[in-house]
Structure formats: structure tokens, C-alpha cells
Structure 1
Amino acid sequence: MCVLFIVRHRAFYQLEPVLSVVGRKVDEVVEHDVKTCPVCVKAKEKITEKQFVSRRKTLLQNKLIEDKIQRHLVCKNSLDLIGELAASLPKPSDDPQEIWRRLLNS
């Protein structure tokens, strides 16, 4: 127990100069004010601008997708699809050989 005390005591004296240097360095540190620092203000402006652009881009993309969905619903209703199907069917005036060829190839 006595030996342990001596070892701890000696280690403390070896650390004492280091602690005094660290203490002086801590005293020398100047507090950093984020609100008045020009570098921090510029960095905050850049971050704010990037966030604004990102939000705006997302809103515009959502609006574009919504417009495409609405356009698709208007253009592709069931009546229009039936009309497109009827237009693609063969006409009675078409050549029967051509009708059979189209039927077998599709």
C-alpha cells in the first residue's frame, strides 16, 4: 500500500508540468461567437440556401408528378382506350391474307 502511494505521488509530479501548460492554454482560448464570426455566418448562409433549393426542388418535382398523373387520368380514360383499340382493329375492307398475317405475327 505504501509503494502504491509513492508511485501515484511520483506520477502526479510528472503530470504537474503538463497540467500547468494545459491550464495556461485553456486560459488563452478566446470564446468563439458564432453570430458575429464572418466565416460561420457565410457557412450558415450557404447551408440555408442549399436547404431552400432542396425544398423548392422537391416541391416542383411533386407538382410535376401530380400534373403528369392528372394528364394521364384525363387522356387515358376508359372511353379513349376503347377508341384506340377500335382504331387498331382491322377494317372489313382490308385484305384477309393481311389480317391473318397480322394476327399470327402479334
Structure 2
Amino acid sequence: MGVIYGYFAAADDDDAVRAVMREDDEPTATGYDGFDVNGMDPTVDLLPAEVILSGRSAETIQADPRYGHLLATADDGQLLCLSLTDALRDALAAADRGSLSLR
């Protein structure tokens, strides 16, 4: 079994931390729009998508301080919450279904 990555929409970084560092005994990201995938690392596998969607170079993206920025960690590092860049967030928000379909 590989690593399970959970992606969810949060209002801001503090909200994302609250989604992961639960104080109500609910599972991580409960109540947030999201999904889980096996083996889709945001700092590796989403980089080509961000290059295409944002029009920025891989080098520019990797130099962005929000690229894979650690927001929270729990369970001795077994659970991490990382940020996506604002450019990727904005590109995904502006994208329509047709621009995101695989061909």
C-alpha cells in the first residue's frame, strides 16, 4: 500500500491546520470538500499540472515559498498538511471542466 494523500479545500492556512489538527475526534478534513488519492504527491506529481495551468516554470514554482510549505504535522510525522501555491489555487478555481479533462 502506498501513501494516501488527502486534498481538501480550506478557507486559509489556519483553517487547513484545523482540518488536520482536530480537537473534536473527527477524522482529518471531515466537513471539508475533498478527496483522497493513492500516490499523488503534491510536490512531485502536481508540479507538471501547475506548470501547465499557471504558465509558470517549474523552477519558479519550486522557489515559491508556499510550494509544499509545511503547515502542520501530527502522529510523529505520519500526517502532514502542506500548502499549495496561490497560483495553483487560483488556476484551479478559474479552470473549467473542459480545461481539466485528460486527452
What is the TM-score normalised by the length of structure 2? 0.17
Of Structure 1 and Structure 2, the greater helix share is in 1
Question: Relative contact order, CA 8 A, sep 6+: which one is greater?
Answer: 2
What is the TM-score normalised by the length of structure 1? 0.16
